[in-house]
Amino acid sequence: MQELTFTTAQPYSFSFVPERTALVLVDEQRGFVDADIPNAVPVTLSVLAAARALGLHIVHARAGHSLVDELRPQSGEVVVDRPGTSVFWATGLHRRLMARGVTHLLIAGVATECSVTMTEREARDRGFQCCILTDVAGGFDASFEAASTNTSVSYGGQFGFAAPSAELVAYGEKASAAQEPPPPAASWDGTLLDLDTLQTQYRGAGLSPTDVVHAVFDRIEAYEKENPHAWMLLRSRPEVLADAQALVDKYTGVERDCLPPLYGIPFAVKDSFDVAGLETTAACPPFAYTATVTAPTVTACLEAGGLLIGKTNMDQLATGLSGCRSPCGIPSSVFRHANHKEDAYCPGGSSSGSAVVVGARLVTFALGTDTAGSGRVPAAFNGIVGFKPTKGTLSSRGVVACCRSLDTATILAPSVHETRRIWHVVDHYDAGDAFAKDPQSLPLVLADHRGVNAAGFTYATPPVSAMAAARLSPEYEAAFDKALTVVRAMGGRRHALDDAAYKPFVDATDLLYNGTLVNERIACIGEDFIRTNIARFYPVTGKLFQQVLDRNARPWDVYKDQLVQAEATRLANRLLSGGVGPLGGVGRGDDGHDGAGPGASTTVDVLVVPTAPFHPTVAAMQDDPIAMNAQLGVFTHFGNVLDLCAISVPAGTVDGGMPFGLCFVCARGLDGRLFDIATAFERALAASYGKRTS
């Protein structure tokens, strides 16, 4: 991450890291620049080109007018409509900058004496380091414009910085000149399906999405002989080729840099997502139906240029963490123990197939779901990333519900870098989803220009009692300790929780299956359907549903458990509020006390846990399918009960070359902060192994 510097900035030089910097263009729209400040367009074009060449995030802010044609946004760039003077008020921009890890802003546009400087001042209050590009900003009154800029650079940079754009343009030209020409299609060996590789190849115009489709199906056919049952419904090669050709035709003549963010990217979805015209089974044949409408999360991927390859296997009705509860066959983890190659290891569930097809590099990414760990555990068992966002932030419409109030869609991908970029595509508020959270209701983090490594962060680990109760395998215990050395080396400051502070997580875990929350599964699937078809369920699944039906829960027990859940949620989110500034709304109360209650006086940025306590074989799981499955979720069950966000990241291997996953957990709404820390860990781990990561 090379730092760039504007040496001509006032009051002194301004430095920034491109990947953590956004260019904010304010009101570059018809009615303003084309009539009153027409000279702003040419210089803005050069700045925009430089910012794109450097990989800066781009934000277009407008106020009720169409943007100038020459400055129109490219696919994937942020566009906000501002109702007020600043581009922050009631636009959700701060959250979108958090999602991208932005800490620095380069601000340009009109008018300097109004929206530009107002935006800079509010951004500064939110923690962002800001620099106004003076020759890309314009005003309507020269004296006001000069006074506004002078005020911004006064007081030693406490308000902000200002600089001409020449150095930015020079940096951009240098970056463009240094870029190697896109390789020819012949250089692609048909195996690398990561986002960066495919997008680089597509920019070269030598590789076609149809080439990728052929390669994907060739790989799928070969892998099916090695590890079958990952797919529930595989679309035909001709069908997907037709989609790929339609994509090529649609974007013929379009500049390669203007392709949508998932152009030609192959992906899969768990068979609990509806896709119009395809059957949804949730691995339960009696439940099967043909969808007439596509789930919004899948639609977002398709509209961004993604190519749907098929639907993946899963634990029946999303009931399980093992991946061993499907009547349609059981895939195994993509990993085999070096000393026991004949043993098949659990793929993890319930998003088993999605994790396997990503882990085997059959697709670039997959969508899954996560109620109690169903996206994180299979990710860990297949050596990939599994991201469980704050529930209610991704649409749950068109997804077969497990426990609807606790469900969320998840993203499975090979790296944190790729997962974050896919998240940007699907992270949209769905007003038609009854459980959707209004983005304005979620906490915000003050930006820290130093970044994660320089600023450091605090992290918590479970108490000794919880680690003992989890029954970690010796290999996983050693791997966890080793991973924590990397967390410390990247700036983490550890706080080992005591039993009182960790109690909310224990309570939440108990509530999920031992309390009345599990009754929601009956409500979601339907009591009549379950009673009528339970004999046709996969045996273990049927047994679990029968146990719930046989419970003698009293009506008031539901409310009792809801009260326990509410209090545990408050305490857990307060504990994990260390990175939340005054904007977050979870700080001290009016009386000056934190209101956290016993055992929660300390706050940290993130909780760090093993994703799972051990990795069983399929045979071992089948010998003890209920108790062992429950034990797998000891560090994931609490996530959605407590309204937290979490991500499982590959953290090396244990004896025999089997994967180990480390899970980072943050408070609700702090998904962007979660990604910042996970990205830093991924890079630190790669550096410790002498590898490079994006």
Show which residues are catalytic: 270, 350, 374
Two tokens, residue 58: 């781009």
Question: In angstroms, rounded to a whole number, what is the distance separating the alpha carbons of residues 355 and 155?
Answer: 53
Apex 384 CA angle, 306 and 491, nearest 5: 115
How far from 29 is each of 78, 445, 529, CA to CA, in Å? 15, 30, 56
Question: In angstroms, rounded to a whole number, what is the distance separating the alpha carbons of residues 457 and 445?
Answer: 13
Contacts of 544 (CB under 8 A, 6+ apart): 319, 626
Pairing of strands 57-62, 161-163: unpaired
DSSP string, 473-526: -HHHHHHHHHHHHHHHHTTEEEEE--HHHHHHHHHHHHHHHHSSTTHHHHHHH-
Residue 458's CB is within 10 A of a number of other CB atoms, namely: 17
Taking 3-state DSSP, the helix, strand and coil percentages for the chain, each rounded to the nearest 5, stand at: 45, 15, 40
Contacts of 250 (CB under 8 A, 6+ apart): none
| Phi and psi based region of residue 207 (left: phi greater than 0; alpha: psi -120 to 50; beta: remaining) | beta
- Taking the CA of residue 127 as centre, how many other CA atoms within 13 Å lie in the half-sphere pointing to its CB? 21
Q: What 3-state class would DSSP assign to 291? A: coil
Phi, psi angle pair for 285, to nearest 5°: -50, -40
Q: What 3-state class would DSSP assign to 21? A: strand
DSSP string, 590-642: TTS-----TT-----SEEEEES-S---BHHHHHHSTTHHHHHHTTTTTHHHHT
Question: In angstroms, rounded to a whole number, what is the distance separating the alpha carbons of residues 70 and 55?
Answer: 19
Distance from CA of residue 268 to its chain's centroid? 16
- Token look-up 């902000």 returns 160
Amino acid 364 reads T
Question: In angstroms, rounded to a whole number, what is the distance separating the alpha carbons of residues 135 and 11?
Answer: 16
Alpha helices by DSSP H, listed for 153-308, are 166-178, 195-203, 209-226, 237-250, 296-303
- Token look-up 């944190």 returns 416
Q: What is the DSSP letter of 438?
A: P
Alpha helices by DSSP H, listed for 55-178, are 93-99, 117-125, 142-152, 166-178
**Contact of 363 with 401, CB cutoff 8 Å:** no
**Contact of 79 with 62, CB cutoff 8 Å:** yes
